[in-house]
């Protein structure tokens, strides 16, 4: 079923064209318009230029010609969907995420159900499934609480697959562009919660997804390993978030120990030891300086 009141935003960065094509085909069956916001620097992707010409009016390819970060790229796409295409909802996607056939419809049904309970909704997101293991990503600590069968109130959800109504954007604001990449989605959810808007996960909605570059086993747990440059933003943004009062204290404490472990784990167990160390060091330095 096509939901013409929904527009999708897909963020690209050196994308796998074949994988994104699968995502596009699925989205064009379900939503009124799709915006591809390309953060790849100094590149215009001829493949997507051609696809957008063939899908004129329903698929818009927008190359930014430089990497403005996920947060700013999302903001550009959100504004296009809500205030240029005048859609009621926006749904956000990473370039490597693939929704199942019923995901968007189930999210919309969940949004309606929660709204009818009189709850202010920030976003409703899907259950993310690890592409490699085919197992759901589930938190070990903050699991949330069920408000209905298959709908869980969450403290935070990932941005990919999240369905957001225009009223939530107008109440909460846009993504924090200074965050650039890591923690963008969580910060927005916490800011929304501080304004009285809650985030939810719909277990009937499934999204094939991949966190990090690859997984490693450590003490019986799967650890999503980021690229070295992501470590810069993780450590810098953690120090930024430490100074914000609406960021949960429990998250600050748990991530203090998590990043402390990574500080020793990455240089010992990963191949690009010096690159990881340099990015972590620069991220910490930038975080303390407030850059």
* pLDDT value of position 218: 53
* Token output for 6: 């929904």
> Position of tokens 């999302």?
74
* pLDDT value of position 224: 66
How many whole angstroms separate alpha carbon 185 and alpha carbon 157?
Answer: 7
- What superfamily would CATH give domain 3-209? Spore Coat Polysaccharide Biosynthesis Protein SpsA; Chain A (3.90.550.10)
DSSP code string of 167-226:
HHHHHH----GGG-STTHHHHHHHHHHHTT-EEEEEEEEEEEE--SSEEEEETTEEEEEP
Query: What does pLDDT average to in each consecutive run of 10 residues of the chain (291 residues)?
Result: 95 96 96 98 95 93 97 98 97 96 97 97 96 79 86 96 98 97 96 98 93 53 76 96 97 93 82 88 92 74
How many whole angstroms separate alpha carbon 140 and alpha carbon 162?
Answer: 21
Given CA atoms 5, 15, 213, 42 in this order, what sign does their dihedral have?
negative
- Give CA angle at 188 (147, 131), nearest 5°: 70
Sequence-distant (≥ 6) Cβ neighbours of residue 92 within 8 angstroms = 8, 9, 11, 74, 77, 78, 159, 160, 161, 162, 164
CA–centroid distance for 179 within its chain: 13
Q: What are the extents of the domains in the chain?
A: 3-209, 214-289
Whether 151 contacts 163, CB under 8 Å: no
Q: Say what angle helices 249-269 and 228-242 make with each other, to 10 degrees.
A: 150
Q: Three-state SS string across 98-142, please?
A: EECCCHHHHHHHHHHHHHCCCCCEEEEEEEEEECCCCCECCCCCC
* pLDDT value of position 267: 80
* Token output for 43: 């590149």
Whether 28 contacts 34, CB under 8 Å: yes
Given CA atoms 289, 250, 187, 128 in this order, what sign does their dihedral have?
positive
């Amino acid at each position: 079923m096509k939901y013409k009141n929904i527009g999708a935003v897909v963020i690209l960065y050196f994308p796998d064209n074949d994988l994104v094509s699968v995502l596009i085909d699925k989205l064009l069956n379900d939503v009124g318009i799709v915006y591809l916001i390309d953060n790849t620097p100094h590149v215009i992707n001829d493949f997507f230029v051609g696809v957008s010409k063939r899908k004129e009016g329903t698929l818009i390819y927008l190359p930014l010609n430089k990497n403005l970060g996920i947060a700013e790229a999302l903001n550009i796409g959100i504004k296009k969907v809500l205030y240029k295409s005048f859609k009621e909802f926006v749904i956000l996607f990473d370039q490597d995420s693939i929704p199942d056939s019923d995901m968007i419809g189930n999210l919309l049904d969940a949004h309606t159900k929660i709204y009818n309970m009189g709850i202010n909704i920030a976003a409703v997101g899907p259950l993310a499934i690890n592409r490699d293991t085919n197992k759901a990503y589930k938190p070990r600590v903050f699991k949330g609480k069920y408000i209905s069968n298959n709908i869980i109130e969450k403290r935070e959800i990932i941005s990919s697959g999240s369905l957001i109504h225009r009223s939530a954007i107008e109440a909460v604001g846009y993504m924090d562009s200074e965050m650039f990449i890591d923690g963008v989605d969580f910060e927005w959810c916490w800011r929304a919660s501080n304004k009285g808007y809650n985030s939810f996960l719909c277990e009937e909605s499934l999204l094939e997804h991949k966190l990090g570059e690859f997984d490693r086993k450590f003490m019986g747990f799967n650890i999503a390993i980021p690229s070295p440059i992501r470590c810069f933003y993780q450590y810098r943004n953690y120090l930024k978030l430490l100074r914000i009062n609406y960021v949960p204290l429990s998250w600050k404490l748990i991530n203090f120990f998590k990043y402390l472990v990574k500080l020793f784990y990455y240089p010992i167990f990963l191949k690009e030891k010096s690159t990881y160390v340099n990015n972590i060091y620069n991220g910490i330095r930038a975080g303390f300086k407030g850059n």
